[in-house]
Every structure is written in structure tokens, then in C-alpha cells.
Amino acid sequence: MSASELEREWRVAVKTLPGHDVLAVCSGQRCALVKDFVRKDKEIWVSTPALEKALGWKSRFSPDRSSVSFAFESPEVSTTDSPARVGQLAPNFQVARLDGSLVSLADFRGKRVLINSWASW
């Protein structure tokens, strides 16, 4: 699917990352990196399966495969303790604030969150 069509028809932002061989695709509050794309002339074409995986979409093609539509598919809840992968929702967790009160990732649902983790050792 062309990047211009994704932006125009599906309101998906498609951005190149200078110096990297990946794209950033964002739909609503969900952003992910996509490696499966090609450049043809001045247009960027993104793989439909890559979009499904990155944005949690389910694609539905017309019978003659001349057009495609997308529907959001809610992420499956994993019962394992495996870490989240790029494009998946982060698992909920709690941390203590400087005043000792607890805050959880779920408190920020629907908002963009930057997690900056570091250590001084």
C-alpha cells in the first residue's frame, strides 16, 4: 500500500528515519517501526502484512484484490511473562514516585508515554 494512500485514506503517518532502513508508522496513539517496504520512483510502498503486525490491524481484500480495507483488532492478552515487542502494547506495571505514591502505566491509557529508564552505577 502506498504511503500517500495510507496518509490520505487511513490517516496513518508514515515517516522515514534518516540513516535507518525502517519507517515509523503511526495510527492514533499507536506507533511502530516497519522494515518491510520498498521505494518505487518517489513513492514508498508498505507491506500489508507489516502494517497488520505493526498497527494491530486486520486487512480485508476485495474479491478481485484491487482494494483493501482495515479494521482494528484488539491485541491478544498474553499469559506469559515475555517482554513486549515493538508495536505491541506494553504490559501494565507500577513504580513509586519520588513522594512514595504509586503510579501505573494504565493511569496514562490513551496518552503517549515516554519511559526513560537509567541507572547511575
* Per-residue confidence (pLDDT) for residue 82, from 0 to 100: 62
Query: Which tens digit of pLDDT belongs to each residue from 104-113?
Result: 888 887 788 8
Cα separations (Å) of 33 from 44, 107, 114?
14, 25, 16
Angle, CA of 102, 106 and 107, to the nearest 5°: 60
> Whole-angstrom distance between the N-terminal and C-terminal Cα of the chain?
47
Per-residue model confidence (pLDDT) at position 73: 63
Taking the C-alpha atoms of residue 70 and residue 27, their distance in angstroms, rounded to an integer, is 12
Which of the residues in the chain have pLDDT under 70? 73-84, 87
The Cα–Cα gap between 96 and 10 comes to 39
